[in-house]
Structure 1
Amino acid sequence: MHSINYQLTPLEQSIKDLYQSLSISEPHQLDMIDIASKLNIWLHFADITSTVIERNGVYSIIIDRRLTRQQQWQDFGHELFHMLRHSENKLMLSASIVQLQEAQATNFAFHFCSCS
């Protein structure tokens, strides 16, 4: 019988590294308020579509409080990816680049929100 040795994708490895840097090793530690605090991100809840903003090097993630807890967690993962990887002004990018960045953020959120 052969054992399968799964090799993490670069995205999965980067999420694993991020969790390790935040001392997260158990699913119960997956808390957006705690993660935001550890990353020095201001986390806000408001009745607007979730987004990330940067002003003078300070990042804030705004989460739509009208969403379910699970949807808020997924939005947090999505916006966190934009903060970590996409610092450009979306207004200056072509529609195809914005679409690519949104797909990348959704893929990151899928893995980030379900990894442990």
Structure 2
Amino acid sequence: MLNRSALAALALVLGQSVAMAQGSFLEQLLLSPTRTPGDVPETYGTAYDCRALKAADQTAGVWRGLIGGQVWPDAGQSRPVSREGCFKTEQECQAYLGLMSGYIDFVYSRECKRL
């Protein structure tokens, strides 16, 4: 059983850890580049480019993530957008869809399927 001084020390360490984590989060938030509305990342030319895998005939066991929706870059403007990426695991594919959902204002379709 912990005595009072050990408990106080533990509380102090945990409090400092939380404060440091919050500080680094705020630092990252404040110092990271801002996102332009309507700007949705592409996988073209990256390790997740499905076109390259298909061209090299390396699609065995690959998961394809596809997401589509609308973005509103400015008030009164909208445009359709869709993105795809290819991944080694379903978990990576689902993580990609989650990330992309943050860039697309209205998602109307999203799926992960094996190629």
Task: Identify the structure with bigger relative contact order (alpha carbons < 8 Å, sequence gap 6+).
Answer: 2
**TM-score of the pair, normalised by structure 2:** 0.26
Structure that is richer in helix per residue: 1
What TM-score do you get using the length of structure 1 for normalisation? 0.26
Q: Could you say which structure has the higher strand fraction?
A: 2
Larger-gyration structure (1/2): 2
